[in-house]
Structure 1
Amino acid sequence: MSTQLFRRKPVNHMRAGAAHGPELKRTIGTFQLTMFGVGATVGTGIFFVLSEAVPKSGPSVIISFLVAGLAAGLAAICYAELASAIPVSGSTYSYAYAALGEVVAMGVAACLLLEYGVSTAAVAVGWSQYLNKLMDNVIGVHLPDSLSHAPWDDSPGVLNLPAVILIALCALLLIRGASESAAVNTVMVIIKLSVLGMFIVIGFTAFDSGNLSDFAPFGVSGIGAAAGTIFFSFIGLDAVSTAGEEVKDPQRTMPRAIIFALLTVVTIYVLVALAALAAQPWQQFEGQEAGLAQILETIVGSPWPGTVLAAGAVISIFSVTLVTMYGQTRILFAMGRDGMLPRQFAQVNPRSQTPVFNTVVVAVVVAILAALVPLDKLADLVSIGTLVAFIVVSLGVIILRRTRPDIPRGFKVPGYPVTPVLSVLACLYVLSGLSWVTWAWFLLWLAIVLTFYFFWGRRHSELNAGATVVDPDAPTQDDAR
């Protein structure tokens, strides 16, 4: 049983995945992949997570962004090494399978499915808020609460219909093909960065240092709590690594895209947060819908900048939903190919070369979440899944450096082993700020996935076929398990 649970999938077998299952088409370059990372992060946090994070820490939320960015940055460097060494679909799930064993990989898969599924739903809920704001400003129509709020929201409704429509549109685009999705995402990200640049410029014209005077009203604990919520917005770095099998020259492209995306994201987040907090007292952020648009309207005294920002948010948050849905479908694809899920999840449409079945399943599940669950119940669950995945990646770097030093790596973590150790410690600090309720839901979900693995996954694992797949370059028998 122990041998079965902790058997590892050979790295060379992963890299030659085409010989052992369906293959995806390599069409994505460095710039488009960087835009994937930026598209999945900028927007998720800045456009609506401030209303969740600022009430926990006050103006010191700026420090919370830096703390979360530090933890994400250290993990991103670790991702860059593993992505260049194991350029396949599946992200942290695949890395854990190679370094830590099958049961650990399934535990990580639970984190990733939670991370991507819940974040997609949360982003769709935020998109609904900005769509309402845009429609109200442009045509004077505001959707009733019954069609724009979940049943358990502060303003109870029947379902969040705009969120469901957004998810359906993203699913249709993903079914058409990865290159088409990447091209659309790139355009949306450029629009997003332009709109946020406008917010920064206008926001700094109303800079009031008095709004920052009570800088940390809830002390260090408030900074940690806000950092845990904010971490919800850094999953784009992980989304880059899910594209391993659809990237041209992955050993060079993936590390570059991860690092470029990280630098862009942290810079934009800090500048926008500073401009917002200096322009509006922190007490006004709580419960504020489409907050950035409202701040601009107050500064200018006219609805036009708020309308422009709301339009930019409607367009650009679409890209967040698109990329997070993309990431989840590719993780399910890798799991299906490994036998951890039914084989339907590994099927690829012969024309579009995309996993259509996965996309439909993800769209249905996420649409139900987005339609019925409020935003504030979703954000922290995303953070916990992301942080656990980041910890596993950091440990994976250390383990594979020791067990497989021979693997070709297009990028190596600088400052090894200090950097991955600091990454683990930073993520543990952010995890400590999450509530016990979040932990309880996370552990329940983890138990469900591991139960599925024990009763189904381990019996259908690809590694059961004739015992094991042998890695011809493995230096020891242990590495070939």
Structure 2
Amino acid sequence: MPESRSPSIARRLPPSEATGRWTGARHGLAKTYGPSDLIVLGIGVMIGAGIFSLAGRQAATMAGPGVILSFMIAGITSLLVAFCIAELSSAMPASGSAYTFTYVIFGEVWAWAVGWALVMELLLAAAVVARAWSLYAAQMLADLGVRIPEPLSGVIGQVEGFDLFTLVILVLLTGVVALGARIGLRTLWIIVVAKLAAIGAVIVVGALHFDEGNLAAIPAPTAPIKASEGFLDSPLLGLVFGQTTAFGWFGIFAASATITFAYIGFDVVATAAEEAEDAPRSIPKGIIRSLVVTTVVYIVVAAVMVGMASYEKIDASAPLASAFRQAGEGFMVHVINAGAVLGLTTVVLVLLVGLTRVVFSMARDGLFPRPLAKINRSYHSPSRATLVIGGAAILLAEFVPVLTLEPLVVIGALFTFLAVAAGVIRMRRTLPDLPRGFRAPLSPYVPIASILATLWLMVNLQVVTWLYFIAWMAFGVLVYLAYGRRKSVLAGGQPPLEPPVGLRGRHRR
């Protein structure tokens, strides 16, 4: 085909190839998700760390009661991006999400960069949240008075090094995802309902102790932010403007950049597009509705928490628990622990689902090894890709201090947000007649606002985070030059995947 003779930077995937080639194929995914399932998928991945740890930590150390504004800023930024992702996913409902969008709109090199960033974001996020899950699970057992046997005490609830609970949750959820989307979806529904019940209890009981005086004013800026004495730990914004303070408006904006971690995941809903019924309409609704619900829940819980206790008295290591203890509601600690464990379980589950779909799509296009694109006939799932991803997440979580790398998840997500917003602007010009089930309002103003807001959040990140991200992307360029550029289907390195004769024409369900 003509595309195969083009330079890699100019090779673009035809829109029809992005979504129209997998019906009935062994490399296509079965229809699984209805409209309500997509909302649960979004809530499952977004409501977790932001509710039970991130909000309180940022209130205590960075933004004070202004953390509510931080959540609003991060939520509005995410909503702008969500409009853009919704339009692209309605036009190209494929499992690759931002990777596939970029492949069609900008070309192969940019698609690889976005896909590589997505792999970092989702893989590292799964490892980070799994480690956090272990910490909460160990704390829940301790608060319940359950004594861990002495031989296991050094390998459970550890911040770094080998951790048994981290291993168990990743092995268990990798198995659930490998067994197919339907089993994972049933599991997700059960846990999300239980998690929302716990959050409801937190809001109701916390509201009984609300003191609006704790929200009276934004605290004045304090000493410079110092994770160490080096400039590499200062926010990039501070280096540009000569100010690196906690609290005040700088603290609020710096917190909003970190809080973006809490919203990361709404874009994962787009990775389910190939498995969703009436995807051009259901995917945009699932993305936007789940994000709106999540934003409201985050803001309400954050307001209750800082309304219960002064930000100066919140224990950053266990913010909600410390707030309830100060209010004399010690029993709520058990509800919080259970809700945290349930919440983080769904986050890991959906992250593994989303990452599997991205890797699966890149393998179908030849940018990753082709065996990762094989669908298991028994489970109708890319089980091989799932097992490889699960193994990688286990190695990362067990042998790398992932909790210190959490900002890399944020910068990876923000990078893909930029590509998506720019993609809407370009698609309106180059593919104006491509059918869409949803259009971002006020284009190009919404995509431009999305780009500006995303860039603002990115410059609030630490310099060391940028350096790590640049190193990861540079390594990705080497991987692409050594493998993807030659093996790409569009480059003619591998033949396009075709369904075996016995499966051609068969309905995926």
Task: Find the residue that maps to 2:113 and give its secondary structure.
Answer: helix
Of 2, 7, 15, the residue aligned with 1:3 is 7
- Per the TM alignment, residue 17 of structure 1 is displaced from its structure 2 partner at its CA by 2.8
Native 8 Å contact 1:123 1:321 kept in 2: yes
Deviates more, 1:202-211 or 1:248-257: 202-211
1-structure distance, mates of 2:285, 2:168: 34
Aligned to 1:122: 128
2-structure distance, mates of 1:340, 1:349: 20
Going from structure 1 to structure 2, the CA distance change for 1:293 and 1:243 (only over 3 Å counts) comes to same
Aligned to 1:430: 457
**Which residue type is aligned with residue 268 of structure 1?**
V
Native 8 Å contact 1:84 1:250 kept in 2: yes
- Per the TM alignment, residue 14 of structure 1 is displaced from its structure 2 partner at its CA by 1.0
Corresponding position: 1:159 with 2:165: no
Deviates more, 1:375-384 or 1:73-82: 375-384
Corresponding position: 1:421 with 2:448: yes
Corresponding position: 1:147 with 2:156: yes
**Which residue type is aligned with residue 386 of structure 2?**
T
Corresponding position: 1:241 with 2:286: no
- Per the TM alignment, residue 450 of structure 1 is displaced from its structure 2 partner at its CA by 1.4
Aligned to 1:211: 214
Aligned to 1:473: none
Aligned to 1:170: 173
Deviations 1:41-65 (A, max 9, x none): 0113111212442212222111111
* Structure 1 residues not aligned, in runs of 5+: 152-157, 470-481
Going from structure 1 to structure 2, the CA distance change for 1:301 and 1:52 (only over 3 Å counts) comes to closer
Deviates more, 1:172-181 or 1:311-320: 311-320
TM value normalised by structure 1: 0.91
Aligned to 2:506: none
Deviates more, 1:358-367 or 1:135-144: 135-144
**Which residue type is aligned with residue 38 of structure 1?**
I
**Which residue type is aligned with residue 430 of structure 2?**
T
Aligned to 1:299: 327
Deviations 1:370-407 (A, max 9, x none): 23444641321111011111111111111111111111
Corresponding position: 1:359 with 2:386: yes
Deviations 1:288-331 (A, max 9, x none): 14x323433442343x3211221122123211100001100100
Instruction: State, as a whole percentage, how many aligned pairs show the same letter.
Output: 35
- Per the TM alignment, residue 269 of structure 1 is displaced from its structure 2 partner at its CA by 0.5
Native 8 Å contact 2:180 2:379 kept in 1: yes
2-structure distance, mates of 1:100, 1:341: 19
Deviates more, 1:51-60 or 1:327-336: 51-60
Native 8 Å contact 2:407 2:465 kept in 1: yes
Task: Find the residue that maps to 1:18 and give its secondary structure.
Answer: coil
Task: Find the residue that maps to 1:47 and give its secondary structure.
Answer: helix
Aligned to 2:249: 220
Runs of 4+ in 1 over 6 A off after TM superposition: 466-469
Of 299, 306, 320, the residue aligned with 1:270 is 299
2-structure distance, mates of 1:296, 1:372: 35
**Which residue type is aligned with residue 66 of structure 1?**
M
- Per the TM alignment, residue 133 of structure 1 is displaced from its structure 2 partner at its CA by 2.2
Going from structure 1 to structure 2, the CA distance change for 1:59 and 1:146 (only over 3 Å counts) comes to same
Going from structure 1 to structure 2, the CA distance change for 1:48 and 1:2 (only over 3 Å counts) comes to farther
Aligned to 1:368: 395
Task: Find the residue that maps to 1:242 and give its secondary structure.
Answer: helix
Aligned to 2:201: 198
Corresponding position: 1:94 with 2:100: yes
Native 8 Å contact 1:84 1:252 kept in 2: yes
2-structure distance, mates of 1:52, 1:379: 14
- Per the TM alignment, residue 146 of structure 1 is displaced from its structure 2 partner at its CA by 4.4
* Structure 2 residues not aligned, in runs of 5+: 221-246, 497-509
Deviates more, 1:97-106 or 1:458-467: 458-467
Aligned to 1:137: 143
- Per the TM alignment, residue 285 of structure 1 is displaced from its structure 2 partner at its CA by 4.1
Deviations 1:416-474 (A, max 9, x none): 111111011111111111000000111111111111001210100000229999xxxxx
Native 8 Å contact 1:115 1:383 kept in 2: yes
TM value normalised by structure 2: 0.86
Deviations 1:175-221 (A, max 9, x none): 11101111211221121112111111111222223433452432222
Corresponding position: 1:449 with 2:472: no
Going from structure 1 to structure 2, the CA distance change for 1:286 and 1:103 (only over 3 Å counts) comes to farther
- Per the TM alignment, residue 141 of structure 1 is displaced from its structure 2 partner at its CA by 2.3
2-structure distance, mates of 1:316, 1:376: 18
2-structure distance, mates of 1:467, 1:110: 20
Corresponding position: 1:29 with 2:56: no
Task: Find the residue that maps to 2:441 and give its secondary structure.
Answer: coil
1-structure distance, mates of 2:49, 2:389: 19
2-structure distance, mates of 1:447, 1:372: 22
1-structure distance, mates of 2:57, 2:113: 28
Of 370, 381, 398, the residue aligned with 2:408 is 381
Deviations 1:90-135 (A, max 9, x none): 1100111011111111111121111101111111122112212221
Native 8 Å contact 2:411 2:469 kept in 1: yes
RMSD of the TM alignment (CA)? 2.0
Going from structure 1 to structure 2, the CA distance change for 1:349 and 1:466 (only over 3 Å counts) comes to closer
**Which residue type is aligned with residue 326 of structure 1?**
V
1-structure distance, mates of 2:182, 2:72: 33
Corresponding position: 1:336 with 2:338: no
- Per the TM alignment, residue 159 of structure 1 is displaced from its structure 2 partner at its CA by 2.1
2-structure distance, mates of 1:376, 1:165: 18
**Which residue type is aligned with residue 189 of structure 1?**
V
- Per the TM alignment, residue 332 of structure 1 is displaced from its structure 2 partner at its CA by 0.2
Native 8 Å contact 2:41 2:269 kept in 1: yes
Going from structure 1 to structure 2, the CA distance change for 1:360 and 1:207 (only over 3 Å counts) comes to same
**Which residue type is aligned with residue 391 of structure 2?**
V
Native 8 Å contact 1:200 1:271 kept in 2: yes
